[in-house]
Structure 1
């Protein structure tokens, strides 16, 4: 016992001795005036010139650097723009606090200054990061560098925050890299060795040029500046894999760039439900360093069916001017993408249906094959000269071809399991469509000539669709033979749609009306919104007569319909801003009130007389918002917004005079020509919080979004359940309906030297009262949904990454009408992940998911494991994937709504093993053969 106690004491004392560290405090001042120098960089280097620690001085020129190693010779360097650097050597033999007061002198052109690599410094209002000050492995990329910078956090979802604030723009030499808005394309591909410096600064949102803006509209921007000899290069990935059950995958991405232009191609094909929907997704999933490369970019077991996906595309970006200033752009982007899917899906759905009498239970089984092929061409042109003007033009052209067939059988039983009815439906469909769209944004702001300030948007879309469908349905009633129904129906539909929308926000309206009168600081803005929509449908329906062996024209469903809608909404906006700026904080309060007048004309021309309508409406409505932002320097910032809006909507022609199609006996829809208009009142809120303490080891940010909606005279369903199982739906108005939704998240990160601990929480709450009628009973369905999701991740110097997550979701529906049943569903998902990057070149990883549900007899388990080896100077990769090792996964989903609960089981991936080889071609700048 004594020996054990002595051993524990010895281990404790050894640990305390090992954990002893020193501290350095001090100040930085101008040598001549003794004025404190704010944001001076204090860097501590080891004997090998590696950065041990660094800090920026505060507004009083003070700094504190803790956790310094003892019994080691250290070099302290103090630097400030425009001053000669200060250097001194220190060594702390015991855990103590030393003081250093640095007096800096203004630099002279004749003075020779010896400088070390400064990791972080302030240049005006821009924070600059020096990659040369961080010693890392030769193949390290920008993301690994950012992980070493104090105050910068790369979260597990790919978000980058600086002192808790999210980076919303990432540029390379002042331009989006490869035309992509995803920062990972740059941060996970570009090597640290190619970077000159990384800049962080605020800039205004260009989409708001010509509109009234506030500091809340500014975006945190990260600009990666390349070295002069690295402004030309290429990188990419080519991989192919094959495995058991004839599973395969292949993907390709290749990108190259120079000072003015960049281009990239990408492609992929697989039958493991791996998503490759577009070119940007391929670029994101095939980067040189994905944070957890083997955990997410794999075959998806939650997808319904077996899907064979293929995609191919390319992008070209050219800058007509050679500028690295993000304010000046003259850029053209062209892209093409071709995607296709071949899906085979089998499913079973079990549904419990609430009725005023005995409950009904439905079993729905189906098999379907679907093929889809899409071609999309896009063009974007951006022209800006400064922050005061913006021209952005986007155009797209696309085609889509779909065809498929399906077979479904449905059985409906009562509570005693007696069969009430059954049906069988076979469908064959073909569809082809083409579409074009054009979007133009143009804005101009001139403070010296405010009469010329405005923002404008033009949107135009056109589409043309031709479809054919054959449906054979056979409904058999076991309670009333007269309800039996057989249909062999053919549909041919041609649809053409044109939409043109324009909006102008004239911020010079105040100067135009009031001249130089300030109106107590109230801003006036005049808005003009115009919309034109034209949609034409020509549907021909024929029924096959089994007696005479001939198709007959269906006069009930065949129709021609043309709808034209003209909408015009002028609006007047009044806004006021109150702000206060001091040395340590600022706060801004702003309010806005908007008055709008909706003028609408809806003309419908149809081959059915009752559908020929010419309606006009005028709705005068209003909106209002309040915003508040508070920022305390080196402490925190928060932002809140509260908004109210009122809108009106009128029932469409298809709800007033519905063309009743009985092809599906379990959903027969009927119209109601007496429907009233609906009035919606909406209140929304938004709140953000983040820390701004450069000295803190914690990074914290949070967000909440909420919306409450009150609908007066909403359109709802009146449902009738036939004893045979048939269901009839009639549109009707209810008194009111309410919905409340909240989305909130909270993230906190703690850095331990080069280690990191992250906790991410996400929550969702939904509740509402939806009125409806069930078998003439007036009912209000009270729905509640609650989601809580926790994710905890620990990174040990990128060698070990541990992830644990928990998701709990509850759905509940409670009807108010007597005799109707309540429904509740609870699901619980636990996730575990492990990545081990050791030894060099090797990666072992694994994921385990456990899914339990109140409607399942036992939980579902999915366990995947991966082993990766990099060779050929880190450019070759061999990966072995073992998917669903326990062979226990099933595709099962559950849901609950006002009509009942349902459980759906579909086919999907089963256990398979896959071996993949990938090659990463990479070159940045000129090849260096000799080193001094």
Structure 2
């Protein structure tokens, strides 16, 4: 970067660093105040590499002020000439009031708060030499990693950046498992604004919870990675690895894995909508597993996984930056499970017991890319295309029985279900921005398109009725939107923004059903077939005002949305439905720095949510004959109010940090289900019967939805044992409206979870943590007086990685889990113990030969609970049992 005069005026550039460890400071505010006319002042914020650029300056004297939390303010009188000014490297001194006058040798500040960004210093969290970044961040207070993904302070992390650039799209698990911990300098957690908001400076509320992994300077160039292979009892195996080639801005990563021990270090993408899952807000457990590095991503059932992928980023010249990735994964899963569901009726409960054997073959392809073209100082273009494809095939055998409180059998099903599903998703986003001569004045245009296509061929064989039903379904979605935003400066710290957004979504669904009554001939079933098309269009003008200064930010906005929802049923009976909606969507955001470090952030917003095509299409789906569904073309869009408050504070003097995250959400016209329980057998079509006790669910709009959650995390140093004490506490309440047999009711769910963990940071040769965690909920349904159900899951355990005499490594993780469920018969407890012994050898201990055992005590189990508006369900799932394995691992390290 050079100084000079451009079409944007004169610039001042520089780099801000810590005066002690020379680390780059991100989020520091650089303010240039014109000595003669303060209204002509300018400011900027330092980037990931500590660099800043203050634009649109004039030939004049300025008072430069730099402010960064935890550091002393820096001021200097600067003369800006015709060619601008290069301030070079500016070192900020740490504030003694916050950091302490006495420096303790070897003491590293683990957490810092800078603006709305939380910074974790990797040197404060000691891990073993072979650890991944996933192992590293699991030690950081407030960050949780499990099979469902990654969360930070109660919020789901949606993407991981590597030195500010995207790494394997939006798959945090894959990213963290690929990056070795030893290259990490720090981890930054923040809310990344949308592409257009980053250009305009206005936060439109469309933020992405992001982890940015900053690499060490000495590790930015080199070839490094890991290769491994193992073989065990019962013909179990694992093989895989990753290779990274970094050379300045050019970075290439190649990964791959194959195993039949249920290891899956990535997130799956369900385009076809075929994966099962828990009810909204319900607890979903998982098989017991260790959290150490050699047992990751354990799944329900028995899975064989194959995957391969690559990620590439580079700067092409001075104007173009490219970020791209490709990833393929295939999973073959065999799973047996048992489910018990209690449905609450007005007078008594109804019980459903189910046994399922399922075999699934799923394959995904994902391509993500981002191209940034800085045309010149005044114009920038960003293009983000992506493509995903899924092929899913499954065979499921189900035996289900419904009974009443007295044990009388109401109905049963015995069926085989075969499905063949394919889907693709093609998306592209284009953002263009033009900056005018006046600083803060800009215009930007954002356009995005999305094409989604799903094809399903499903075959249902009813072994009770001796018939075969064939379902042929095709769904197509075309979605596009465009937004134009204009910004205008107001004074020295204010900015006004006006925008207009238009969006149109066209959704079509064609369902054809055929039945074979054991004659060999398929008969078209008109009553279970439907052709439907829905269009949803919105127009949204908005205006926002923002004011930003050193230690605070305030943003208030108001949008008006006009929406039309048109439904066109073309078969079996033609019919058109059209509705329009008028909504006012306010937005309020504010952030203020707290005394002594930390900040408080608040965001309130109103939003709408349109019904999906499956919720609108008026056709009965009897693929599960005891739980039928049908759409409702009369649905309205829902309206939600959301309030989020986040408080984070770090005491660097005492190595303590605390954060609190609270979210409150209400909704009117909330889309939920009305359930009707059949009192007698009912004929749907031909030989297709809805049995007595079976349920028909119809989506409806109801008011009264509430959701409140609070999550608090705290970390403190225990210097005596060179460890950290990490604690977390979560509380939640959800009121879910529903309707059963015409009676409206609420399912009130009260939840709580907590964890206490002692995590070591002694050195890389000894790594341990000891923890206790508990989670549970209490469900009260208003439809049946005195109906309470609850669960409590408790876990206590520890992990150890110890390297001692001549490279011998002992690893162990053990956990005792106790589950108390719906009734006494569902209670269970078990101990899962994984252990290994290994020997490091070769130059720099690059090689390791390991003997490991999974589930030493043969007690591994799995249980989960799901909560709905008028039911609670408990599921036990098949899991992988004990095995022994010999494994060889080679660490590739060549830096410089």
Q: Which TM class, normalised by the smaller chain length?
A: 0.7 to 0.9
Deviations 1:357-385 (A, max 9, x none): 45332220111111112223333212347
The offset of 1:631, in angstroms, is 4.0
Counterpart secondary structure, 2:264: coil
Quote the offset at 1:434 in angstroms.
Answer: 3.2
The answer to whether the 8 A contact 2:494-2:548 is kept is no
- Pick closer, same or farther for the CA change 1:295–1:655 going to 2, 3 Å: closer
Q: Select the residue among 252, 261, 264 that pairs with 1:275.
A: 264
Aligned partners of 1:209 and 1:444 also within 8 Å:
no
SS of aligned partner of 1:65: coil
Structure 2 equivalent of residue 104 of structure 1: none
**For 2:725, which of 745, 758, 768 is the aligned residue?**
758
Structure 1 pair 755–790 and aligned structure 2 pair: CA distance change class (3 A): closer
Kindly tell me: are residues 725 and 304 of structure 1, through their superposed partners in 2, closer, same or farther at Cα, counting changes over 3 Å? farther
Contact 2:340 2:874 in 1 (8 A): yes
Matched, 1:188 2:181: yes
Offset at 1:298?
3.7
Report how far residue 838 of structure 1 moved.
Answer: 2.4
Structure 1 residues 520 and 841: CA distance shift in structure 2, 3 A: closer
Match of residue 590 from structure 2: 627
2: CA distance, partners of 1:220 / 1:669: 40
Alignment CA distance shift 1:302-1:820 (3 Å): farther
Q: Which has the larger radius of gyration?
A: 1
- 2:713 is matched with which residue? 746
Pair 156,448 (structure 1): closer, same or farther in 2 beyond 3 Å: closer
Partner of 1:608: 572
Q: Is the 8 A contact 2:364 2:388 kept in 1?
A: yes
Q: Does the residue aligned with 2:787 lie in a helix, a strand or coil?
A: coil
Q: Specify whether residues 363 and 300 from structure 1 end up closer, same or farther in structure 2 by C-alpha distance, changes over 3 A only.
A: farther
Give me the whole-angstrom Cα distance separating, in 2, the residues matched to 1:277 and 1:222: 18
Q: 2:677 aligns with which of 716, 720, 732?
A: 720
Paired with 1:713 and 1:56, the residues of 2 have a C-alpha distance of: 53
Structure 1 gaps of 5+ residues are 1-37, 41-54, 70-117, 193-197, 281-292, 322-327, 476-484, 512-517, 582-586, 926-932
Which of 496, 502, 511 aligns to 2:476? It is 496
Q: Cα 1:414–1:525, aligned 2, differ >3 Å: closer, same or farther?
A: same
Q: Does 1:792 align with 2:758?
A: yes
CA drift of 1:916 comes to 0.6
Whole-Å separation in 1 of the counterparts to 2:527 and 2:188: 65
Matched with 1:319 is 315
CA shift digits 1:625-646 (9 cap, x unpaired): 14141243xx222213141425
Q: Does 1:822 align with 2:788?
A: yes
Match of 2:836 in 1: 866
Q: Among 472, 479, 488, which residue is 2:461 paired with?
A: 472
Evaluate the alpha carbon distance shift between residue 804 and residue 385 of structure 1 in structure 2; reply closer, same or farther with a 3 A threshold: farther
Contact 1:153 1:160 survives alignment (8 Å): no
3-state DSSP class of the match of 2:526? coil
C-alpha distance in 1 between matches for 2:310 and 2:237: 23
Tell me the equivalent position of 1:658.
618
Find the counterpart in structure 1 of residue 443 from structure 2. Answer: 454
CA distance in 1, matches of 2:187, 2:534: 53
User: In 1, are the aligned partners of 2:656 and 2:716 still within 8 Å (CA)?
Assistant: yes
Counterpart position of 1:878: 849
Q: What is the Cα deviation at residue 311 of structure 1?
A: 0.2
Corresponding residue SS for 1:209: helix
Alignment counterpart, residue 535 of structure 1, candidates 496, 501, 507: 507
Map 1:357-756 to 2 at 5 A.
357-384=347-374, 390-446=380-436, 448=438, 450-451=440-441, 453-474=442-463, 487-508=467-488, 523-546=495-518, 548-573=519-544, 575-577=545-547, 587-588=551-552, 590-610=554-574, 612-632=575-595, 635-645=596-606, 647=608, 658-670=618-630, 675=634, 677=636, 680-691=639-650, 693=652, 696-712=653-669, 715-722=672-679, 725-729=692-696, 731=698, 736-750=703-717, 752=719, 755-756=722-723
RMSD: 4.6
Name the CA shift for 1:680/1:592 in 2 (closer, same or farther; >3 Å): same
Q: Secondary structure at the match of 1:636?
A: coil
- Closer, same or farther in 2 for the Cα pair 1:753/1:427, shift >3 Å? same
Q: Secondary structure at the match of 1:590?
A: strand
Q: 1:491 and 1:381, CA in 2 relative to 1: closer, same or farther beyond 3 A? A: same
Partner secondary structure for residue 210 of structure 1: helix
Q: Given the alignment, which residue of 244, 250, 259 partners 1:255? A: 244
Deviation at 1:423, TM superposition (A): 1.2
Task: State the distance in 2 between where 1:520 and 1:319 align.
Answer: 34
CA distance, structure 2, for counterparts of residue 211 and residue 902 of structure 1: 47
Alignment: residue pair count? 747
Gap regions ≥5 residues in structure 2: 1-70, 74-91, 270-288, 681-690
d(CA) in 2 for partners of 1:741 and 1:257?
45
Aligned partner (choices 832, 847, 852) of residue 798 of structure 2: 832
1:283 matched residue in structure 2: none
In 2, Cα distance between equivalents of 1:177 and 1:554: 49
Q: Is the 8 A contact 2:160 2:167 kept in 1?
A: no
Contact 1:784/1:813 (8 A) holds in 2: yes
Deviates more, 1:530-539 or 1:818-827: 818-827
CA distance in 1, matches of 2:614, 2:132: 55
Q: Which has the higher contact order (CA 8 A, sep 6+)?
A: 2
Match of 2:76 in 1: none
TM-score by length of 2: 0.73
- Cα distance, 1:806–1:923 mapped onto 2, change above 3 Å: same
2:841/2:847 contact within 8 Å kept: yes
The DSSP-based 3-state class of the residue aligned with 1:304 is coil
